[in-house]
Structure 1
Amino acid sequence: MTVTDIPAPNSNVITRGFLAGDSELQALSGRTTDDLNPVTGQVYARFPAADVADVTRVVDAAHAAFDTWAGTAPSERRRILERAADLMVERTEQFAELMRQETAGTRTWAEFNISMSVTLLRQAATMATRPSGTLLSTDVPGQWSMAVKAPAGVVVAFVPWNGPLILCTRAVAVALATGNPVVIRPSEDAPLTSGYFLADVLREAGVPAGAINVITNDRADAPAVVDALISDKRVRRVNFTGSTTVGRIVGSIAGRELKPVMLELGGKNPILVLDDADLDYAANGIALAKFLNAGQICLCVDRVIVHRAVVDEFTAKFVDKVRALDRGNTSDEHTIVGPMINARAAERVAGLVADAVAKGARVLYGGGKPEGAYHPPTVLDGITPDMRIYSEEVFGPVATIHAVDDDEQALALANDTAYGLSSGIYTENSGRGLALARRLEHGSVHVNDQSVADEPEAPVGGVKDSGFGHFGSDWGVEFFTETRWITVADRHTPYPF
């Protein structure tokens, strides 16, 4: 069965096995784990629940494919990735339905996942045929001295549920382009959209058996499975996108095992609205940056920092914009704010709001108790440092507005966080914006734009507790390859003895 075999409502659930080599395997223990529809709470799909022995089987398959895939002609690897991009376009409708059923993602968000992932695949394809080495200068007569990039080996990609296809593609595409086999460990909340969908597309496009693999686990077994994957000596690179809490664990295991690791973690993203900003434009952009995918994107804005001279006018425009957002059932293509990933996530966000209100915050719009996985779009002000929402990542549809007197106060508040992922500045004076951008402690800063801005060509990554490592201008080629020094002499070297 593939992800294209989507069951009709109330029919049998999707059942998949581990993708290992050319097989779909069940767990040796026979145990399974369920994937629930966030809205209905019903089982949508079922997967094997891996233990350490299953990890070994899947890594066996990836390692066995290494020589074949690394030895595949670069032009063939490029052709396969370009074919995968074509197939992905054809399956937009299928993916949108999968996302709606599995993560309660809106159609807008699903289509963006497809379009961005297609571009990521097409650009990664070009990495397969780029120069793979450099001729170095040397003082040795008759010697050619070269720095050559070679595939590193098995790559493990830990993929989250919130931007499932984008983040899976970003983790996998360049690794494959440069000749590495990959093991995807998708989110327990979305194995289909954060793992199987892409793996099925790549296999159909021609990626050979073992070069792309998927392993799933029950949430309770995650620590042991994660440790086993990273600790396997045949795994040479680790790529993790997710929470800072789990990222610290992944980073510590990788450090113990001396494995290069790339971590893209959480954020407490600010957007500054200066006193010369176009307030209508800012309100529109910040509504997008806060409420797209119900605020469940690592780049979503948390703190809206506004000059006091314009805070009342901005706040009125922003609340009006939020009030007008379409919300509710994700089967409606116009829905902007749908349910969260599950009721547990909605309750966590409601807890942040309740704590803030109890300590003096003011609800300008929304609030109240969630209904299942649905938390209403909410706007707060009067936030103080003793409130949990001041420092914790919201990761939900709640915006906080902070009034400041000047640029320096705005800058200080924006940087007063352990995180440093993304940020924005609304101003009609680009020079003023650039001066502030240079002082913001965030991996990306967008002057006169919102924080969820993303482009395949741009470096992606954070600073401070938002992680380290970037899919930068080389698209991660340095990370996924080993650089080796090779010399070739056309004459004998005179040795000293």
Structure 2
Amino acid sequence: MTAPLKLDDAERPAPSFLDGKAKQLLIDGAWTAPRSAETFDTVDPTTGRALARVSSAGQEDVDLAVAAARRAFEAPSWADITPYERSRVLLQIADVLEEHTDELAVLDSLDMGGPLWMTRWLVEHSVEVFRHYAGWPTKIYGQTAPSDPAAFNYTLRQPLGVVGAITAWNGPILQLAWKLGPALATGNTVVAKPAAWSPLSALRIGELLTATDLPPGVVNIVSGGAASGEALTGHGGVDKISFTGSLAVGKRILAASGNDLKRVTLELGGKSPTIVFDDADLKAAAKGAVAGFAQGSGEGCVAGSRILVQESVRERFRELLVQEMHAYTLGDPFHPDTRMGPLASRRHFERVSSYLESAREDGGTLETVGPTGHGLYMPPTFVEGVGSDARVVREEVFGPVASLMAFTDAEDAIAQGNDTVYGLSASVWTSNLTRAHRTAARLRAGTVWINAFGDMSAGTVPFGGFKQSGIGREHGIEVLDAYTETKTVMVHF
């Protein structure tokens, strides 16, 4: 392939949501122009053309959204509904998203460049997330405790209040579902701020929610950039922040939370190892390793950007790795043969490119499969010959770039795998189940895949990171602790 796959403008979808009208803020069930009067363009990274004019929320807008969420939290229409009614509303949300799967997938592909097959899966996964959380309202139990015969002690699990949900630009609809699902299931209300690079699906979901029985103000959506996010994270009326994004921003949110002791869930970056032992199915491992750093153009927090292969099979594995990279065809997100779309923005493309230049300066060699020099497209690339202190090895690239390194034995593999400030995920490839489980136990990562990469639960198991990959967990039983407070009641007769 000498150039990315292209489509004519007439072949690309044009959703009616992109009607030329400026997109407003959803506050208390109504679409509202920003008091700040500020707007910005969201841009299609494939064509470079503006998709829509989007409102940018200022402090006054965030104040109004938080106040609306607080009123909704305390209103009988939300606070006093039965668990069964809450479940019904969540199922309604799942149904309306499912009815608009294609439209929402198209909006995300236009907005952040992901191929349509991938964004469609993200919407389908989000539908499953809401259906999973629809089962929780009827299963949030308190406890009774042993007490004196003249007393009765018990606990209640109660919602926190107003949740600020801030999502990143990669996989926007999935991240929003991961936050809205548990927040609503546990009785909280939400002010959501989608990323400035990909706000369209969240704003469209705001419209779709009006077709359900969700009361006004329970979900509010304020678009904008860093200033909008800071207004939300620093707001005294917000009880919890759930954030997905960069380590740098996560640290600022954690510091700001100390002013009023907000609860926080932080799902931050990763520098995940893919560990391939000499007894692995090398072809399957190569396929999984390439998916780990090339799928979604590498713009994923769990990207397997450090490939560690046992020295005795390094050369054979390298050959297979290159073969698998050829499957990742670059092109327009809506071309049926596209496996990788463009990177999400010019600024991000330049950032990822800087890591390739840094790797060359560190004495590394690059293996690239695919066309270069075309817009914001970047083919799969791996780097060899750099030390463990190189930027490309230490820092999160967030693009289709991996480092290929060797290890001698299991001890060396675990040491190298853990040699990072991050700890979000890892994948281990081996036919020896004893080795697989022992390695998984010793890796400092929140999720370890064995002979697989990238499996994502719709809610049954927890997801989150060790070390600087975050605080708290999304999904699993643990998510109840993230969105509720435990109250002890002690009754004396």
Structure 2 length as normaliser, TM-score? 0.93
After superposition, what is the alpha-carbon deviation per residue over 1:435-461, rounded to whole angstroms, capped at 9, x for unaligned? 111111111111222245545211110
Gaps (5+ residues) in structure 2? 1-12
CA shift, 1:344, in A, is 1.6
Evaluate the alpha carbon distance shift between residue 78 and residue 475 of structure 1 in structure 2; reply closer, same or farther with a 3 A threshold: farther
- Report whether the alignment pairs 1:279 with 2:318: no
Q: Determine what percentage of the aligned residue pairs are the same residue.
A: 33
Q: 1:97 aligns with which of 100, 106, 126?
A: 106
Q: Give the one of 418, 430, 433 matched to 2:433.
A: 430
After TM superposition, the structure 1 = structure 2 runs for residues 82-481 of structure 1, keeping only pairs within 5 Å, are: 82-139=91-148, 141-193=149-201, 195-217=202-224, 219=225, 222-223=226-227, 225-366=228-369, 370-451=373-454, 453-474=456-477, 476-481=479-484
How far residue 143 of structure 1 moved from its aligned partner, in angstroms, is 2.5
| Matching residue's letter, 1:202 | L
Contact kept, 8 Å, 2:346 with 2:376, in 1: the verdict is: yes
Residue 154 (structure 1) shift: 0.6
> For the Cα contact (< 8 Å) 2:446–2:463, is it kept in 1?
yes
Partner deviation per Cα, 1:5-58 (whole Å, 9 max, x = no partner) = x95599753522110012111111322111111122211112222211111111
Q: Secondary structure at the match of 2:165?
A: strand
**How many angstroms does 1:384 deviate by?**
1.3
For 2:64, which of 57, 60, 63 is the aligned residue? Answer: 57
Report how far residue 473 of structure 1 moved: 2.7
Matched AA of 1:158: I
Secondary structure of the structure 2 residue equivalent to 1:347: helix
Deviates more, 1:114-123 or 1:273-282: 114-123
> Deviation at 1:244?
0.3
Indicate conservation of the 8 Å contact 1:227/1:253, yes or no. Answer: no
- Secondary structure at the counterpart of residue 184 of structure 1: strand
Q: Secondary structure at the match of 2:173?
A: helix
How far apart, in 2, do the equivalents of 1:44 and 1:228 lie? 26
What SS does the corresponding residue of 2:143 show, helix, strand or coil? Answer: strand
Match of 1:48 in 2: 55
- Deviating runs (4+, > 4 A) in structure 1? 6-12, 367-370, 451-455
Cα deviations by residue, 1:96-124 (Å, 9 ceiling, x for unpaired): 21112111111121122112111110111
Q: Which amino acid aligns with 1:428?
A: S
The secondary structure found in structure 1 opposite 2:60 is helix
2:24 to 14, 17, 36: 17
Write the distance in 1 (CA, Å) between the matches of 2:296 and 2:372. 19
1:486 is aligned to: 489
| 3-state SS in 2 of match to 1:205 | coil
Distance 1:7 1:60, change over 3 A: farther
Q: Kindly provide the amino acid, as one letter, of the partner of residue 44 in structure 1.
A: L
Following the alignment from structure 2 to structure 1, what is the Cα–Cα distance between the partners of residues 365 and 274?
A: 20
Change (3 A) 1:455 1:11: closer
| Aligned AA (1:56) | D
The question of whether the paired residues in 1 share the 8 Å contact of 2:140 and 2:157 is answered with no
Which residue identity does 2:40 align to in structure 1?
A: T
Residue type of the alignment partner of 1:134: Q
Question: Contact conserved, 1:169 with 1:198, CA < 8 A, in 2?
Answer: no
CA contact under 8 A between 1:346 and 1:372: conserved in structure 2? Answer: no
Question: The residue matched to 1:27 in structure 2 has which SS?
Answer: coil
Structure 1 residue runs of 5 or longer lacking an equivalent are 1-5, 492-497
